[in-house]
Amino acid sequence: MEDRMLRLRAAANAALSRYEPLALVVAPLLTLLLARSLHALFLSVREKGIKAAVLGLLFACVKSIPGVSWYIESEKKKVVEKLQSGSKSKRDSWRTELPNIGLGKATIQELEDARNKDIAWQGKCSGTVYIGGSDSENHFALINEAHAMFSHTNPLHQDVFQSVARYEAEVVAMTAALLSSREPASGGQICGNMTSGGTESILLAVKTSRDYMRTKKGITKPEMIIPGSAHSAYDKAAQYFNIKLWRVPVNKDYVADVQRIRRCINGNTILIVGSAPGFPHGVIDPIEELGDLASRYGVCLHVDLCLGGFVLPFARKLGYPIPPFDFSVKGVTSISTDVHKYGLGPKGTSVVLYRNREIRKHQFVAVTEWSGGLYVSPTMAGSRPGGLIAGAWAAMMSLGLNGYLENTRQMMEVSKKIQKGIEEIPGLFIIGQPHMTVVAFGSNDIDIFEVNDMMTSKGWHLNALQKPNSIHICVTLQHLHVVGDFLRDLRESVKMVKENPGPISGGLAPLYGAAGKMPDRGIVQDLLVEFMDSSC
């Protein structure tokens, strides 16, 4: 054996003696560099596809040409200024220092004056304000009064503000009961916490799933898989928590493509996601199929019920064909739902729920080595506004099951009227088959973003969507008495765009159109960051 090794050594030395020593050192390094480059290319193609990966490489090369980068930056500034639409001039009058002498009660008049200059939103906004009527009476007034009573409380200090701690627990329990916590299939251990909104609820669910799966499976390079229609909060969570994100295109019905999601699952997958309904098109993903998938592969499944949590249970009671979506579905490990949407609570109130405490405990942060003492916190915030918790509790208690049922009945009827009215407008089509109160529509004949600009000029504020280009209206109690006005203005807007195609002055259709056609999505991302940086 030793002789054989010596012969091999001699043969290797003889073969290598023909090369320069420098070449023998450099060659492995170049080979390693090439291997790393090919690996990076493979990952880029796997993540983006061949076309997007090649385009990305091409644009990176083009931007390295002297002068090109400068030109792109100058053009980005022009687009950002267009997006701002004169907001810089408004900022010139904003205060940058404390007044020398406090205004006292005159502050209230300043607040009133500023509020009166806001855009009129009553009945004109998609989503945004979910409570009906005036913001100074009825349900609004009740919530405001409850909030004022507890505006200086903080559930961080449970020993002091015991009432607020109780209200949070009751809001969580009542919400869980709506989502099948009392059904045997749920396991009877549903638990959760209140958060500041749907985004925080989603962030917490993702963080909890990551840590739970690290404990359960030892996953240290976590990945999650979401449909293309899933909320952008998952992208935020992926960046915050260092999780690889796979965004899978939806199928022809604009719902999660279960087979495509299955093909993306691997040993590092911690979480898959479904929405009920998805924000863009108001359709419910196949939660049962996703639940089967999650159970089969032993991964977590989060259901985003931020829009539907306080509507779908009642729509089902009213006889609408609502597919399974909650903890009655095997495989669902967490749910997020917003009280400040159709729960009609104050802004800044949401609930994140888990199937059991074993999962939820991974949400908490406990610190033992701080000189300030032992510390443990359930959510991202430390101090939290107890007034919002009290306002959410007041909203739920004042409405009751009968109130939510009646609200849902009215909103579902209005949504169907709007859907039918849009279908009757030549040139427009409904996207998917809406399950709830979001109606998305597009056009193959005209620029739908120009229609959106025209509607904006008439005082409406709808949501512009992409993939495909479309707009939607999220129906709320504010819309109960403006259906006729909305459909009339939409018909007129479509007619005007057909007769006079082209962007209207001050409209954003050219920007949306250009962004949709721009192959380098990195530039679009840069534009959004530049816009945000100049706006706050």
Per-residue pLDDT of the chain in tens (536 residues, 90 and over written 9): 677 777 777 777 777 677 777 776 777 787 787 777 676 666 666 666 666 666 666 666 656 666 656 656 666 666 666 666 655 667 778 888 999 999 999 999 999 999 988 888 889 999 999 999 888 789 999 999 999 999 999 998 888 999 999 999 999 999 999 999 999 999 999 999 999 999 999 999 999 999 999 999 999 999 999 999 999 999 999 999 999 999 999 999 999 999 999 999 999 999 999 999 999 999 999 999 999 999 999 999 999 999 999 999 999 999 999 999 999 999 999 999 999 999 999 999 999 999 999 999 999 999 999 999 999 999 999 999 999 999 999 999 999 999 999 999 999 999 999 999 999 999 999 999 999 999 999 999 999 999 999 999 999 999 999 989 999 999 999 999 999 999 999 999 999 999 988 877 666 665 666 566 555 666 677 767 776 777 77
Residue 533: what pLDDT? 72
Query: Number of C-alpha atoms within 13 angstroms, CB side, residue 267?
Result: 3
Cβ atoms of residues 170 and 163 within 8 Å: no
With CA atoms as reference, report the closest residue to 338 among 310, 380, 318. Answer: 310
What pLDDT, on a 0 to 100 scale, did the predictor assign at position 353?
98
Q: Which domains does the chain have, with CATH numbers?
A: 147-398 (3.40.640.10), 401-535 (3.90.1150.10)
pLDDT at 434: 96
Instruction: State the sign of the Cα–Cα–Cα–Cα dihedral 193, 198, 202, 207.
Output: negative
Q: Which of 355, 253, 233 is nearest to 301 (CA)?
A: 355
Which pair of tokens denotes residue 102? 């406090």
Which residues are CB-contacts of 418 (< 8 A; sequence separation ≥ 6)? 439, 473, 475, 479, 483, 486, 487
CB 121 within 8 A of CB 129: yes
Beta strands in 160-229 (DSSP E): 191-195, 223-227
- At which residue do the structure tokens 């040409």 appear? 65
Question: If 0-12 CB within 10 Å is exposed, 13-18 middle and 19+ buried, where does residue 326 land?
Answer: buried
Find all residues with CB under 8 Å of 341, minimum gap 6, and list them.
127, 130, 198, 306, 307, 309, 310
**Residue 514 CA: distances (Å) to CA of 469, 511, 522:** 12, 5, 14
| Matching residue, tokens 């405001």 | 144
d(CA 518, CA 516): 6
Q: Which residue has the tokens 């006292």?
A: 104
Parallel, antiparallel or unpaired: strands 438-442 and 470-474: antiparallel
Copy the structure tokens of residue 303: 């259901």
Joined tokens for residue 72: 């792109």
* Alpha helices by DSSP H, 323-385: 357-360
Look-up: residue for tokens 């880029």?
A: 44
- CA–CA separation, 273 and 294 (whole Å): 10
β partners of residue 226: 247
pLDDT at 511: 61
Beta carbons within 8 Å of 47's beta carbon, 6+ residues apart: 53, 246
Task: Collect contacts of 497-503 with beta carbons under 8 A, ≥24 apart.
Answer: 497/446, 497/447, 497/450, 497/451, 497/454, 498/427, 498/445, 498/446, 501/446, 501/447, 501/450, 502/450, 503/450, 503/453
Cα distances (angstroms) measured from residue 401 to each of 176, 307, 313, 317: 14, 18, 10, 11
Contact between residue 473 and residue 439 where contact means Cβ atoms under 8 Å apart: yes
Give the amino acid at 444. Answer: N
Cα dihedral 294, 295, 301, 303 sign: positive
